[in-house]
């Protein structure tokens, strides 16, 4: 049976490999597998969220509050915006999908960095849109504005900090891009790792409140990284009311689960967990920088919870990733992004020890 021919051009998203695969293929005990491939929070699930889930385990037969009033209120108050300026998605991924469906078609195009979050391309291609990329893997304002003038894309994706490279652009640079485009182009500011960037350098902190005055800008955030809820699938978009109302037309009813909804509400009550996550991260990422320096490996200065090692002609990223995988260490090979590099989520001290020890062995 013939499917929509647009789908022929789409390469499936390559998700980080699951622990189950390593257990199955290499016979390694699940507790010995070190998963540093998907930028999950290494501290684990916030204990107060765990308690809330346990206490509400008997609510799985009930649909969630479809208005998601309490979660929107909590986000609105955190960001000092109105609850009508917030939309909730099953991960910010789903908000990206709404954006694509609302604004793209076969005669439109999108602009993104050379190397960036793979889902931007996939959702855009689902609508038949043409993909344009800047030449550099890092976000460069001049490159974005030059390509914008050349192609007049309908949507520009600014992933700051950027996944899978870890670089970021400053708030001022984001404003330069926004102010350099007209209101018919939507600028998506994807802040999936913003908590880490803000903690590293205030200049890189972007608050959705700063963006809300622009009719053509949306900010995306997620509970999957600093809040440690990747498995619950909750993300959000913050924009002006009209934009949120437009995207709302594409939202299916009950698009996150009852337990996801209450997890996100609970997570927002506990800033301490995020602070702890960031402080562990700050301490541990220094070890990755030192390890790279000592071993003559180049890396990209990271504003995220992962670090990207650039191998140049020293090692082959695919070989290193496969060798580590056989030893139960899951990291991300960036060969499919055209880079001879690996992306490693900064883990707990113990996980990182295992990464360093095994990396030494596979690279010698
Ligand atoms: C992780 C991530 C997201 C969203 O993840 P969800 O789990 O769908 O909320 C969005 N953008 C980037 C760049 C990411 O790395």
pLDDT tens string 98-107: 999 999 999 9
Q: Whose CA is nearest to atom 14 of ligand 1?
A: 192
State mean pLDDT over 93-101.
98
pLDDT score recorded for residue 298: 97
Q: How does 191-228 read in b/e, with b if 16+ C-beta sit within 10 Å?
A: bbbbbbbbbbeeebbbbbebbbebebbbbbbbbbbbbb
**Is the shortest distance between the CB of 161 and ligand 1 below 6 Å?**
no
Distance in Å, CA 314 to ligand 1 centroid:
30
State mean pLDDT over 189-198.
98
Give the SS3 label for residue 63. Answer: coil
Distance CA 344, CA 347 (A): 9
Dihedral angle, C-alpha 228, 233, 235, 241, nearest 10 °? -150
Give the SS3 label for residue 310. Answer: strand
Distance in Å, CA 363 to ligand 1 centroid:
30
Place of tokens 């939309």: 87
**Is the shortest distance between the CB of 159 and ligand 1 below 6 Å?**
yes
Listed in sequence order, the residues at least 6 apart from 44 whose beta carbon sits closer than 8 Å to its beta carbon are: 228
pLDDT score recorded for residue 364: 82
Angle of helix 171-179 relative to helix 141-151, nearest 10 degrees, comes to: 20
pLDDT score recorded for residue 144: 98
Q: Whose CA is nearest to atom 3 of ligand 1?
A: 192
Q: How does 291-315 read in b/e, with b if 16+ C-beta sit within 10 Å?
A: beeeeebebbebbbbbbbbbbeeeb
Give the chain's mean pLDDT.
96
Distance CA 187, CA 169 (A): 14
100: its two tokens: 């694509």
Residue 300: name the closest of 309, 291, 292 by CA.
Answer: 309
**Partner residues linked to 332 by β-bridges:** 343
Dihedral sign for Cα atoms in the order 235, 33, 303, 44? positive
More confident residue, 24 or 239: 239
Pocket test for ligand 1, best of 93, 157, 188, 219 (most atoms within 8 A of CB): 93
Q: What are phi and psi of 148, to 5 degrees?
A: -60, -45
Pick the CATH number of 47-271 from 3.40.50.200, 3.30.565.10, 3.40.640.10, 1.10.3720.10: 3.40.640.10
- Do the Cβ atoms of 299 and 288 come closer than 8 Å? yes
pLDDT score recorded for residue 9: 87
Residue 276: name the closest of 32, 31, 38, 47 by CA.
Answer: 47
**Is the shortest distance between the CB of 163 and ligand 1 below 6 Å?**
yes
Distance in Å, CA 138 to ligand 1 centroid:
18
Indicate left, alpha or beta for 130 from its phi (over 0: left) and psi (-120 to 50: alpha): beta
Distance CA 234, CA 68 (A): 12
**pLDDT higher than threshold 90 for residue 200:** yes
Q: Whose CA is nearest to atom 9 of ligand 1?
A: 91
pLDDT score recorded for residue 176: 98
Distance in Å, CA 94 to ligand 1 centroid:
10
**pLDDT higher than threshold 90 for residue 12:** no
pLDDT tens digits, residue range 37-85?
999 999 999 999 999 999 999 999 999 999 999 999 999 999 999 999 9
pLDDT tens digits, residue range 217-237?
999 999 999 999 999 999 999
- Do the Cβ atoms of 264 and 92 come closer than 8 Å? no
Considering only 1-15, 143-157, 162-176, which range has the smallest mean pLDDT?
1-15
Distance in Å, CA 92 to ligand 1 centroid:
6
**Is the shortest distance between the CB of 235 and ligand 1 below 6 Å?**
yes
Ligand 1 atom with least separation from CA of 223:
9
pLDDT score recorded for residue 18: 86
pTM (two decimals): 0.96
pLDDT score recorded for residue 239: 98
pLDDT score recorded for residue 245: 98
Distance in Å, CA 295 to ligand 1 centroid:
31
Q: What are phi and psi of 186, to 5 degrees?
A: -85, 130
**Is the shortest distance between the CB of 208 and ligand 1 below 6 Å?**
no
Q: Is 7 exposed, middle or buried (0-12, 13-18, 19+ CB in 10 A)?
A: exposed
Question: Span 5-45+272-363: which CATH code?
Answer: 3.90.1150.10
**Is the shortest distance between the CB of 173 and ligand 1 below 6 Å?**
no
Distance CA 157, CA 287 (A): 31
Dihedral angle, C-alpha 313, 316, 317, 318, nearest 10 °? 160
pLDDT score recorded for residue 110: 98
pLDDT score recorded for residue 166: 97
The full set of domain ranges for the chain reads: 5-45+272-363, 47-271
Q: Whose CA is nearest to atom 15 of ligand 1?
A: 163
Distance CA 333, CA 356 (A): 16
Q: Whose CA is nearest to atom 7 of ligand 1?
A: 91
């Amino acid at each position: 049976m013939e499917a929509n021919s647009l789908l022929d051009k789409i390469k499936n998203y390559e998700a980080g490999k699951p622990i189950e695969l390593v257990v199955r293929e290499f016979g390694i005990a699940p507790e010995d597998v070190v998963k540093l491939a998907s930028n999950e929070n290494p501290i684990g699930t916030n204990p107060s969220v765990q308690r809330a889930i346990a206490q509400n385990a008997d609510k799985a037969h009930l649909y969630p509050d479809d208005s998601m009033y309490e979660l929107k209120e909590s986000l609105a108050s955190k960001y000092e915006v109105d609850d009508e300026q917030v939309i909730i998605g099953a991960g910010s991924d789903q908000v990206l999908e709404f954006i694509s469906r609302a604004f793209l078609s076969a005669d439109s195009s999108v602009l993104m960095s050379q190397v960036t979050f793979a889902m931007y391309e996939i959702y855009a291609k689902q609508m038949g849109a043409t993909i344009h990329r800047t030449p550099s893997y890092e976000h460069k304002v001049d490159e974005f504005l030059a390509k914008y003038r050349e192609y007049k894309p309908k949507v520009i994706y600014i992933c700051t900090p950027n996944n899978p490279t870890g670089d970021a652009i400053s708030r001022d640079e984001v404003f330069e891009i926004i102010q350099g485009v007209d209101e018919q182009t939507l600028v998506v500011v994807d802040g999936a790792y913003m908590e880490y960037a803000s903690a590293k350098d205030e200049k890189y902190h972007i608050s959705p409140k700063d963006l809300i005055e622009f009719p053509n800008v949306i900010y995306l955030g997620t509970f999957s990284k600093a809040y440690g809820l990747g498995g619950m699938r909750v993300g959000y978009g913050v924009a002006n009311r009209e934009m949120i109302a437009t995207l709302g037309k594409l939202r299916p009813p009950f698009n996150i689960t009852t337990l996801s909804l209450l997890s996100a509400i609970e997570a927002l009550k506990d800033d301490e967990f995020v602070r702890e996550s960031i402080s562990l991260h700050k301490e541990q990422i220094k070890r990755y920088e030192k390890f790279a320096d000592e071993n003559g490996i180049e890396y990209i200065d990271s504003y995220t919870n992962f670090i990207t090692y650039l191998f140049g002609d020293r090692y082959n990223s695919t070989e290193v990733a496969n060798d580590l995988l056989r030893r139960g260490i899951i990291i991300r090979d960036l060969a499919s992004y055209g880079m001879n590099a690996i992306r490693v989520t900064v883990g707990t001290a113990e996980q990182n020890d295992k990464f360093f020890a095994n990396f030494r062995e596979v690279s010698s």
